[in-house]
Structure 1
């Protein structure tokens, strides 16, 4: 689990920062980093398939809008992604559904916490 969270953090943060470069974008950042990560994991990790899938899925979190998300929210979102993914994989057929729903849920949780946090701050 700790390894999955670490891989998720690297994937989300690297995609988030690389996608902010001019003329690079989120999709290119995700694709390039996933290819690089797959090659590195293939050469160094016995369980490279699962780690590569987790890296790829975490790039979805990193593709979030930089005006809505920041470093700390990407970090929290990538941890949630790893947790959701580990839980959902046994319950869904294939990795694709687990990747998408895990990324969606992790970003949704962060956005809801931020939204309601702002509402509570205004009431105080």
Structure 2
């Protein structure tokens, strides 16, 4: 039951931060800080309401999940994606947090990994898979080379 509650906190942390950020125009950092202050402050002043395990881990899971909610609206705009990233974050944090010492912190690293996993899902659904980015880069390079040749500024001579 405690693990389920932590997963729920991960989902709520990511979606609530995103909601406050986009709906009330508070900005990503302010939204994360405000919501984390409320959750952590409540558990600091009323630690006896929950078990000691939950009192210890809920603030950490919430602040890490709120890092996910800081994502730009242009990058990820679905609440399902945010919820999925919150679940992935909580799974990573609960199972591997001790391995992330020295990598910028377990919370930020786990949030980054979970967000990158969710953001990469459209590429795996694409029929061209991961070549999409490479093809765009190749097209841009070739286009710049043609422009230089037309202007007579070809640097390859």
- Unaligned regions of 5+ residues in structure 2, if any? 130-157
Q: 1:72 to 1:111 in 2, by over 3 A?
A: same
TM (norm. structure 1) is 0.86
Q: Among 16, 26, 30, which residue is 1:24 paired with?
A: 26
The residue that corresponds to 1:15 in the other structure is 17
Distance of 1:32 and 1:61 partners within structure 2? 15
Q: What secondary structure does 2:22 align onto?
A: coil
The residue that corresponds to 1:36 in the other structure is 38
**Number of aligned residue pairs:** 120
The residue that corresponds to 2:67 in the other structure is 60
Alignment of 1:1-124 (within 5 A): 1-42=3-44, 43=46, 44-45=49-50, 46-47=52-53, 48-69=55-76, 70-93=78-101, 97-117=105-125, 119-120=126-127
Structure 1 segments of 4 or more deviating over 3 A?
none
Q: 1:49 to 1:75 in 2, by over 3 A?
A: same
Higher relative contact order (CA 8 A, sep 6+): 1
Q: CA RMSD in A?
A: 2.0
Q: 1:23-48 deviations in whole A, cap 9, x for unaligned?
A: 41110000000000112223133332
- Unaligned regions of 5+ residues in structure 1, if any? none
Computing the radius of gyration from Cα coordinates, the structure with the larger value is 2
